[in-house]
Amino acid sequence: MPNICRDHELIYFGGKALHLQLLQRGGFHTPESFTADNLLLLPNYLRYIVRSSAAGEDGLLKTAAGKYLTIKNVRKEDLEAAVAEVKAHYSQGSVLIQPDLTSAMTFSGVAYSNLNGSYTIAIGKRNSVQRIVEGELPDTEISIFNEKTHLRGEPISPRTIRKVHEEIKRTEAYFGIPLDIEFAVIDETVVFLQARPLPNPTEPTLREHELRKMRRLMEIGKQEKLEEVVLGVGNYREILGNTKATRLSTSTFNYFFSGDGKKILGAVQLGRNEMGYDIGNEISPWVIMVGEKVYYNFVGDALQFRPQGISEEDLAHVVNEVYLPIVRGNPDLLNYPELRIYVQFPEQAERVGLDPEPYKVLAARNRNAVQRVIMTENPPIKVKARELVSIKECLGEITTIVDNIRIGSAKEYVKAARLAFFALEDVRFYLEKMREENPAIFEQIALFFSQQSAEKLRDVIIYDESIGSFEVPEQEEYRYLGSFELSLPRGYPPKRNFKQGRPIPDVELSELVRSTRIVLEKREKVKFTLFRDLDYVKQLYEQLGDLSGFDRDIFFLEYDELSLLSSEPRLARYRVELRKQMKGRNLFPDPIFESEILSAKRVYERKPQLIFGSLNEGETTVKIGDNGYIVDSVDQTVEISPDAKVVFVPDNVRPGSHLFTVLSDYGIPVIAIPQDDLEKFRELEIEISLMNGDLSLKLKE
């Protein structure tokens, strides 16, 4: 058959021919297939099946299965008449001619790669497929969920079930969509007679489709020493665009920072290697989009914070025996810095049973690096991408630029961010020691800054003074600041209201805070170079969208799927359309525990939290737009009125994020609440009450 992949070819050749051609190019076994143009080449001694291949018969949104005519057991001299009879039932598409394989079949049937979350196989001996599609009961029905097989009807060889199961698994992974498949087993080989998309997949189907992909990805870098994979949230949704996050941006981000999970190291491992951490295996994926929501590989990432002298086995043991039980009991702790899984100091290491000596070396090295920070002086200039003329040329440019970012600005950002994280933890650790060894001084500082916990006190002290960054004019060459979500508009940084911090009544703490603010400024300035490079990648992605005809839909693809735009655009389109159906559905809980993803969906109660500033005990009322403000923008172009009494943000905004840094300039309370609740607050009065540290919000009647 000709190379069929474009939409206009689908109209001409039809859906059945298209999908058989795609199966062939994917390395699957299919019958020899011919069109009416090939009749003279066919052998005389075979009998043939003449099948419809209408344009609308096997599409993503419509199957029309069984609507058109199929003629079996046709001799060569009768083919021309049979072709005319089949084609008379539709106008667009072609007719397929295949050898009649009935006598060669050992088994045949129909399979659904994903029917309400299960592999479903209806199978029988010989040419049972025809009876099954006509509505008769199969000899055997097989349902496979979570690798457990349920069988009804006549017993069948496990070897046959396994072969069919493996092949239909491969087809869904290849097409990227759930499929309805007709198949036969011939000489112990699974032969696909046809495959068509399953339109209108149910939520269980979508969920299972995503779980299969997640399992394949997590197997790449899964550590056998860990009890289970845990996918957390943290502030990754904020930096990747919250509900506006896309597959392409998330997967590009993942490639930048964790490579391909095989031979190519990401910026995280490259940066940590240069900082003296132990050179271990790359944890990949670092972030992942499942069901159109962003998660990060929590326990896998933790193993990368391993100094030389601590074995992977020892740290994995601590994760399994100490931290996983904690987060199972309280999933809200599943974020750094709350969990403290990233051990920094010898005292912490000793507390959880790790050798403290490597952490002494680590802490000393990092403290020394904090004191030797060299500040970046000049903001980078925007680079305009050259106009590219073909999909192939654009893909080549993207590959080159993305790899340059991975080993360049992304790696430098990792090093700056890693050092900033250590510096922040160093302040917290200092405050915790002060509370134990000098409680009177700690109480004095806590009263001065109106916070009692070491962690919140640290944040209030650090961000009491505005963190420096580049202040650039409102010019086109700087229009690249924003989140890591590439589909969002890029903007120049807003003019900020810098404030001077209050004197800190402790000399050593004051010096520690000063150096931490310098490191945070370094991190913010390094980020500008990375954002400049992200802006360049965005320009290339927009060109690729134009060249391929996918336009903005390109952002529904993964980074490693971009080559499909050249080789198999139909498969790319299938992935895009399926993911559109997932947008806005809440398919998975936050977070995802590997041990629970196959059980009923678990919902965790999420309460509003005061993440910055202070509130008086009692009640207060604010009206959104007057003295209460909602900030859910991820491009950090935030302007708050001087009349503001409180700011509400999504509950994935975390201290240390750029948005948090900007909001801290205003010195007013910042309350984090679940995204869904945030949407209910528009133009309403909200009653805020703080009683014994318990924060609650109520919409006024």
Question: For residue 633, what pLDDT is reported?
Answer: 64
Distance CA 224, CA 237 (A): 27
DSSP conformational letter for 377: -
pLDDT in tens, 477-525: 777 777 899 999 887 777 778 889 999 989 999 999 999 999 999 999 9
Contact status, residue 159 vs residue 142, Cβ threshold 8 Å: no
- C-alpha separations of 83 from 21, 193, 251 in Å: 20, 18, 47
Question: For residue 3, what pLDDT is reported?
Answer: 38
Distance CA 355, CA 342 (A): 15
Grouped pLDDT means (10 residues each) for the chain, 701 residues: 47 79 93 81 87 78 70 89 89 86 91 88 89 83 87 91 94 92 94 87 86 80 70 83 92 94 88 79 81 85 81 86 80 60 84 92 94 90 93 97 97 94 93 94 92 89 92 77 87 81 93 97 94 95 96 96 94 93 85 69 59 76 85 67 87 65 76 78 81 78 60
**What are the boundaries of each domain within the chain?**
1-100, 103-200, 207-575, 609-699
Contact status, residue 52 vs residue 70, Cβ threshold 8 Å: yes
Contact status, residue 227 vs residue 593, Cβ threshold 8 Å: no
- C-alpha separations of 701 from 279, 549, 687, 698 in Å: 59, 50, 10, 9
Distance CA 434, CA 93 (A): 78
Candidates 285, 166, 319, 294; CA nearest to 241 is 294
Q: Which are the contacts of 435, defined by CB distance < 8 A and separation ≥ 6?
A: 442, 454
Neighbours of 642 (CB within 10 A): 7
pLDDT in tens, 110-145: 998 998 888 989 999 988 888 888 778 889 999 998
The distance from CA 496 to its chain's CA centroid, rounded to whole angstroms, is 32
Helix-, strand-, coil-residue percentages of the chain, each rounded to 5: 45, 15, 40
What's the number of CA atoms in the CB half-sphere (13 Å) around residue 243?
Answer: 14
Distance CA 595, CA 574 (A): 30
Helix axis angle, 247-258 to 409-437, nearest 10°: 80
Q: What is the CATH number assigned to the segment(s) 103-200? A: 3.30.470.20
Contact status, residue 195 vs residue 180, Cβ threshold 8 Å: yes
Contact status, residue 158 vs residue 535, Cβ threshold 8 Å: no
Question: For residue 601, what pLDDT is reported?
Answer: 40
